[in-house]
Amino acid sequence: MAITLKTAEEIDKMRVAGRLAADVLKMIEPHVVPGVTTDRLDEICHDYIVNQQQAIPAPLNYRGFPKSICTSVNHQVCHGIPSSKVLKNGDIINIDITVIKDGYHGDTSRMFMVGKPKVQGQRLSQVAYDCMKIGIEMIRPGIQLGDIGHAIQTYAEKNHCSIVREYCGHGIGKVFHEDPQVLHYGKPATGVVLEPGMTFTIEPMVNLGKRQVKLLPDEWTVVTKDHSLSAQWEHTNLVTDDGFEVLTEHPDWPL
């Protein structure tokens, strides 16, 4: 699949979809409390996306995924399926939202602390956020994706964490996952050269322990092999003529 450079009209539609996705994360924040199930979080988000936003939850039935959001708790790395699992005080959870509006996708995720945060979870979440921010702030025409991946990897490892390699960021637009693949590790001066009009996610998955992961029998949920905590933040981004625009930024949560 070739990389698509978005037109001004397409970018406007992606801004709308991105803002809707950001609004879902803001809406769900007060519901992320000890005692709630991830199924309940999914129900609330589904209702909000479908009935309030008049949009489509992209994960639902995507390649057979059974729910409208992804909820990855503690050592779950990504693609956690909402269930009857009850959140406990001190848990960390990544909630991943993708909405489709007028045919275009907005994709974003963030970490939430459940109840009173534990030091390790809070620290890991901050490192993962910083990794994402470092990558996003490098976006501009002419830079190569390998430079971004290298900077993210270097920061994570400097902070005694590791970067998951099996899963990465991706191009996005009319298609949920399109080219380019955006690795969160790599070598400088390698990879795709960025051009204005490209839209893609940066979403580093950062482990407190080793980087190795495994896929559970549900064929979706990815966990750390050593059972260490994992954290992830994600934004959809646009390459502009002189830098970047974060399409999934919420005004209450500036980058």
160: its two tokens = 């005694």
Q: Report yes or no on whether pTM surpasses 0.95.
A: yes
Mean pLDDT over residues 95-120, rounded?
A: 97
Strands, E assignment, the chain: 56-57, 70-73, 76-78, 92-101, 104-113, 162-163, 169-171, 178-182, 199-202, 205-207, 213-215, 222-224, 230-232, 235-239, 244-246
Burial tier of 5 (Cβ tally within 10 Å: 0-12, 13-18, 19+): middle
- The model's pLDDT over 193-239, given as tens digits with 9 standing for 90+, comes to 999 999 999 999 999 999 999 999 999 999 999 999 999 999 999 99
CB–CB of 13/104 below 8 Å?
A: yes
- The model's pLDDT over 57-103, given as tens digits with 9 standing for 90+, comes to 999 999 999 999 999 999 999 999 999 999 999 999 999 999 999 99
pLDDT at residue 1, as a whole number: 65
Split at pLDDT 50, 70, 90, the class of 2 is confident
Q: Helices 119-137 and 145-158, interaxial angle, to 10°? A: 160
Cα–Cα distance for residue pair 122/87, rounded to 1 Å: 16
Cα–Cα distance for residue pair 231/125, rounded to 1 Å: 6
Beta bridge partners of 231: 206
